[in-house]
Amino acid sequence: MNAPVHARLQENAMSQLGERLRAARESQGISLSQAAAETRILQRYLVALEDGDYQNLPGDVYVRGFIRNYAAFLGLSADELIDLYRYERGRTDPIRIVPATSNPRVRGCIAPSLVGVFFVVLALVGVTYLVLSATNRIGENAQLATIPTATIPPAPSPLPTALPEATPVPIIIPATATVAVAGGVIEPSPTSTQEPEAPIVLEVRIDPGDNPGSWLEIKTDGESVFRRVLAPGRSVRFTARRSVSVRAGNAAVVTVVINDQERRLGTRPGEVVTFEWPP
């Protein structure tokens, strides 16, 4: 393929990516300034993405993060747009083959020899025999030294002159039992149970510093309670009774805290991760 044809194909591919982003934004009635404020991406970067002007964009890692956040904000497929971006830039991620490794086997302890076991058992038998023999000799000496003595029966205790008064015994009726009275039956009132307070406390934090933040979608008990971009250094807090779910568009800067236990969602910028609790 000659250079002019390749240049035309690249230009068409760039136009496809820019047109898809621009068409999705305009179809939802969103301006560039509004999109920049919601996604926390500078407006000049959004213009460069829609125009296919990659010379005015930062490094490749940041560009992919911008595309993922912008796609999530517009409701587009982030993976498809990333593939189109790689084609336009003429880059592909190299396939890295990692050799399989196996954990070294740990050799077990050396079993004791049969000779050692035999001597240990023989020693135990000898000690047991000596202990039993000493116990029997002590018992025989104690029986010989015992002198029989006459047993005097105890004097009978005098009979009481009056019967003691009967102590009333309280009757305990269970809370769930029914009590029969004259004219009807008394049913105990049901014990009111208080619903426990929310057992799940969720906090989502964005790392401070020079980063674009992350687009988040948070659900508690199956209902969406938060769906927008959270700025660097900011955090949100929610409570739930059964379950929570967090979907992050830039997981490398997101930390989730569940009941005072922290968990990092990702390590690569622009990585999309969904976290659910309980797992």
Domain count, the chain: 2
**Of 49, 72, 89, which residue sits at a domain end?**
89
CB 68 within 8 A of CB 78: yes
Residue 220 pLDDT > 90, yes or no? yes
Instruction: Quote the percentage of the chain above a pLDDT of 90.
Output: 27
- Decide if 32 is inside a domain: yes
pLDDT of residue 232: 93
**Would the pLDDT of 274 be above 90?**
yes
Closest C-alpha to 236, from 213, 212, 260, 203? 203
Whether residue 204 contacts residue 265, with contact meaning beta carbons closer than 8 Å, is answered with no
Token pair for 271: 């990585």
Residue 155 forms part of a structural domain: no
The residue from 89, 113, 147 where one domain ends is 89
Boundary (domain end) residue, out of 57, 74, 89: 89
Mean pLDDT throughout 101-126?
Answer: 66
In a domain, residue 168? The reply is: no
Position 182 in a domain = no
Q: SS3 of 257, please?
A: strand
Residue 65, Cβ density class (10 Å: 0-12 exposed, 13-18 middle, ≥19 buried): buried
Please check whether residue 119 lies inside any domain of the structure.
no
Determine the structural domain holding residue 260 and report its residue range. 200-277
Here the tokens at position 18 are 């820019």
In a domain, 239, yes or no: yes
pTM (two decimals): 0.33
CATH of the domain at 47: 1.10.260.40
Q: Could you give the 3-state DSSP secondary structure of residue 275?
A: strand
DSSP annotation of 279 reads -
Q: What is the pLDDT of residues 54-65, one digit of tens each?
A: 888 888 888 889
pLDDT mean over 88-101: 52
Note whether 242 and 224 are within 8 A (CB): no
Q: Which residue has the higher pLDDT, 246 or 186?
A: 246
Q: Is residue 107 part of a domain?
A: no
Number of C-beta neighbours around residue 51 at 10 A: 15
Q: Does 252 map to a domain?
A: yes
**pLDDT tens for each residue of 141-162:** 555 445 455 555 566 555 544 4
Could you give phi then psi for residue 110, rounded to 5 degrees? -70, 125
What number is the average pLDDT over the span 4-33? 71
Evaluate whether 68 touches 249 at the Cβ level (below 8 Å).
Answer: yes
- The pLDDT of residue 99 is above 70: no
- 203: closest CA among 278, 255, 152, 158? 255
Backbone φ and ψ for 182, nearest 5 degrees, come out as -65, 125
